[in-house]
Chains A and B, each alone.
Chain A
Amino acid sequence: MAEFLLVAALLVFATVVAGLLRVLRGPAVADRIMAAQLLGTGGIAALLLLGAATAAPALADVALTLALLAAFASVAMARTAPRQEKGGEPRE
């Protein structure tokens, strides 16, 4: 069972890293925010799975903190996101 959960954690994490490409690529600000959010959610899921696999309940506290602060940070991001004039953001 523990092995299964570990593999699941790895898979979730792998998808998250794939999602990271979107943060890196953009192009729109919204994409980066969403990808960061996915990173948060995926990280939480991976932590929970890892915690269950290794019987480390403290990891759930990390996940909890991450959930709280990720919400906080993504609100700040959505609020701060530049609303630029026509032409939008230059691709990077």
Chain B
Amino acid sequence: MSLLADVFTIVAVLAGLVFFIAGTAGLLRFPDTASRLHALTKADHLGLGLIVLGLLPRAGGMGGALRLLAIWGLVLVSSAAVGPMVARLTRGPEGRE
């Protein structure tokens, strides 16, 4: 059981890592701001989500797990709110690109 949990953690955290690396790479390499925004949100949503998922079995009870999920939720909500605001900055006559 514990082995299974460990394997689960390792797989999920590794997957999360991949998304983080991909997101950062996108942020650095993509040519324009709009596509960088897309890359970033992937890292935000999935990278952290997978890591949270992987850590859930090790959270030590309901409280810890809830806290982890709350963190993920917070990041999702804030990124959902900030994303459009940032996107608006990149559009129209006032932004670059």
Query: CB-CB < 8 A to A38: which residues of B?
Result: 23-24, 27, 40, 43-44
Q: Mark A1-38, 1 if CB is under 8 A from B, else 0.
A: 10011001001100110110110000111110111011
Query: CB-CB < 8 A to A45: which residues of B?
Result: 16, 20, 47-48, 51
Please, how many angstroms separate the alpha-carbon atoms of A70 and B77 in the complex? 12
A52-B55 contact, Cβ under 8 Å, with A30-B33, A41-B43, A81-B89: yes
Query: CB-CB < 8 A to B93: which residues of A?
Result: 86
By CB atoms of chain B within 10 A, which of A1, A67, A68 has the most? A67
Q: Contact between B9 and A1 (Cβ–Cβ < 8 Å)?
A: yes
Query: CB-CB < 8 A to B36: which residues of A?
Result: 22, 31, 34
Interface SS of A by simple majority: helix
Q: Contact between B17 and A11 (Cβ–Cβ < 8 Å)?
A: yes
B28 CB–A CB distance under 8 Å:
yes
Q: Contact between B89 and A78 (Cβ–Cβ < 8 Å)?
A: yes
Q: Contact between B85 and A78 (Cβ–Cβ < 8 Å)?
A: yes
Nearest CB of chain B from residue A18's CB, rounded to whole Å: 5
Q: Contact between A34 and B71 (Cβ–Cβ < 8 Å)?
A: no
Query: CB-CB < 8 A to B52: which residues of A?
Result: 48
- Which residues of B53-95 have CB atoms within 8 Å of chain A's CB atoms? 55, 58, 60, 64, 67-68, 70-71, 74-75, 77-79, 81-82, 85-87, 89-90, 93-95
15 A-B residue contacts at CB 8 Å? A1-B6, A8-B17, A15-B21, A15-B23, A28-B33, A37-B44, A42-B43, A48-B51, A61-B67, A64-B67, A68-B74, A75-B81, A78-B86, A85-B94, A88-B95
